[in-house]
Amino acid sequence: MENHIQFLSAAKVLALLDQRRLPEREEYVFCRTTADVVQALQNMTVRGAPAIGVSAAFGCVLAAWEAGALRNWRPRLKILLREILEARPTAVNLAWAVDRMRRLWKPEDSLERLLEIWIREAEAIREEDLAANRRMGAYGAALIADGETVMTHCNAGRLATAGFGTALGVVYAAMESGKNIRVIANETRPVLQGARLTAYELNMAGVPVTIACDSACALLMRRGMVHKVLAGADRIAANGDTVNKIGTYGLALLARAHKIPFYIAAPLSTIDRNLPDGESIPLEERSSQEVTHLAGVRIAPEGVPVLNYAFDLTPAELITGIITEQGILRAPYGQSIAGAFAAEPSK
């Protein structure tokens, strides 16, 4: 599954494993234009914060090829980059990746030179994400004891990253170190990333996984069936406030009530140090159809309004630790996050 984001340079194509069709069908969507990439991000052909960032970086390369068809290509390229950056609002990895590419673009660069630089950079973003996941896995695995059951939400695995995964990377690393781990994957209404994607990839990897309804979390915790909660993140503020898939906040509250450790696993590219706290992180609201329809069939009455926030904010005080490639950060997060960036070569 490390090949779910394939950049085919000779064909000028970005091939994305279509996550909307999983687990039933393994099909690829072939992006040739900026509009294709924007659409794939918006309709969640590719999703998960780090995977969005990697795809956006390759999207910038496609945008350069597209704009390059014009004699005056630079203004057009600027517009196309903005379109990619604005495809989805919450996961900061998207803006982070586009900004990182943009910063390398010098006014005097020829198109050929820019393409050379950007292809190398997009590959570097992908490689760095994989390496970060591996390091997070190694740090996080030490937190999980042999025989424990981990509850996770949404999909923070191979499919959501360049490969290996953040929260699920910790599970894979714990398994690789010889521990027997079981996972409860919350189904994650309404897009069902847990039931469809997390269950699919864990099952393929031979990790024992059980799907639970989102509404069962409290019962499972009360019965002692959950030892740790591990979730990913879409954006973390400088004080540790964390935005992740809708339902994560409720899970954190339940974990606190049941004295169960609640960990976030995310690379530093998911931390937005421009934001002192999480209150201003934009929470994407998605189509009401995701809630009113199941597999294309309407299940709710026509005309009733829907609240479909795709993300929520978990306050830092509910988080036991943030697993990063620079180690496990603890409260006070303002200090530990600043320290992690100080230890990281700047990009």
87 near ligand MRU, judged by CB under 6 A:
no
Dihedral sign for Cα atoms in the order 311, 221, 241, 153: negative
140 near ligand MRU, judged by CB under 6 A:
no
Minimum Å gap between C-beta 244 and ligand MRU is 5
Nearer to ligand MRU, 53 or 292 (CB): 53
171 near ligand MRU, judged by CB under 6 A:
no
196 near ligand MRU, judged by CB under 6 A:
no
Nearer to ligand MRU, 186 or 320 (CB): 186
Minimum Å gap between C-beta 232 and ligand MRU is 3
Q: In a 10 Å sphere around its CB, with 0-12 CB exposed, 13-18 middle and 19+ buried, how is residue 107 labelled?
A: exposed
The one-letter code for the residue type at 226 is V
DSSP 309: B
156 near ligand MRU, judged by CB under 6 A:
yes
Is residue 133 within 8 A of residue 165, CB to CB? The reply is yes
Is residue 253 within 8 A of residue 119, CB to CB? The reply is no
Minimum Å gap between C-beta 171 and ligand MRU is 12
Which positions from 209 to 238 touch ligand MRU by CB under 6 A, shown as an x/- string? -----------------------xxx----
How far apart CA 340 and CA 327 sit, in angstroms, is 8
264 near ligand MRU, judged by CB under 6 A:
no
Is residue 329 within 8 A of residue 321, CB to CB? The reply is yes
Nearer to ligand MRU, 130 or 233 (CB): 233
* Active-site hit among 36, 129, 234, 241: 234
Paired tokens of 50: 């780090």
3-state SS assignment for residue 7 = strand
Minimum Å gap between C-beta 154 and ligand MRU is 4
How far apart CA 207 and CA 8 sit, in angstroms, is 31
Contact region for ligand MRU (CB under 6 A) — 120-128, 134-142, 155-163, 332-340?
Answer: 155-163
Question: 327 in the Ramachandran plot: left (φ > 0), alpha (ψ -120 to 50) or beta?
Answer: left
How far apart CA 345 and CA 313 sit, in angstroms, is 28
The residue number whose beta carbon is nearest to ligand MRU equals: 232
193 near ligand MRU, judged by CB under 6 A:
yes
Q: If binding means CB under 6 A, how many residues of this protein chain bind ligand MRU?
A: 17
310 near ligand MRU, judged by CB under 6 A:
yes
91 near ligand MRU, judged by CB under 6 A:
yes
CB within 8 A of 103, min separation 6: which ones? Answer: none
**Residues linked to residue 15 through DSSP beta bridges, in sequence order:** 6, 30
Nearer to ligand MRU, 238 or 323 (CB): 323
Is residue 183 within 8 A of residue 155, CB to CB? The reply is no
Nearer to ligand MRU, 91 or 175 (CB): 91
Between residue 35 and residue 54, which ones bind ligand MRU under the rule CB under 6 A? 47-50
Distances (CA, A) of 169 to 201, 262, 270: 11, 16, 16
The one-letter code for the residue type at 103 is R
182 near ligand MRU, judged by CB under 6 A:
no
DSSP 320: S
Question: Is 234 part of the annotated catalytic residue set?
Answer: yes
98 near ligand MRU, judged by CB under 6 A:
no
- Tell me the catalytic residues: 234
In the complex, the residues that contact ligand MRU under the rule CB under 6 A are: 47-50, 91, 154, 156, 160-161, 166, 193, 232-234, 244-245, 310
